[in-house]
Amino acid sequence: MPDLIRTSIDLPAKLAEVFAYVADPATGPIVSSAKEVLDATRDNGQVTSFETKRGTVKYVTQASPHYLEGEYQQKRARTRYEIRCEAIGEATTRVSIDVNIQPQSMRAKLSGPLPRLRAKLQLNDWREQAQQHFGPKKK
């Protein structure tokens, strides 16, 4: 049975800046720590997929700068990320994230909470990192 996680964050930045940050694995992908990114594949300047220590991320849809859909294929689970960026005013962007975790085997179903826990921890780390990145700059 799939598992769904929903979260959102408001960032004090313009829509295009936030989307570029979200889509680029070098600045902190939502699915994995930037330190874990091994290799990224680009097509016409946009990242189409990247490898991590735990699996492969493929961007299925990139409707810049509003919508990004990715699929993270791991050994025991497939995780789909739907990321929507919505401008709120001129200088604020809301990032809404839906994470759908689908176990790929009976063994993965038995270890049920682990993929969810990993995804939640990574989302929390990403939220903190994004808030620091787009937060007030110290002079």
Q: What is the pLDDT of residue 10?
A: 94
CATH number of the domain that 7 lies in? Answer: 3.30.530.20
Is residue 139 a part of any domain in this protein? no
Q: What is the pTM of this model?
A: 0.79
Judge residue 69's burial from the number of C-beta atoms within 10 Å of its C-beta, 0-12 exposed, 13-18 middle, 19 or more buried. middle
**Average per-residue pLDDT in the chain?**
81
Question: The domain containing residue 101 runs over which residues?
Answer: 3-134
For residue range 10-55, list pLDDT tens digits in order.
999 999 999 888 888 776 567 666 667 778 888 877 788 888 877 7
Number of structural domains the chain divides into: 1
The 3-class SS string of 4-40 reads EEEEEEEECCCHHHHHHHHHCHHHCCCCCCHHHEEEE
Is residue 23 a part of any domain in this protein? yes
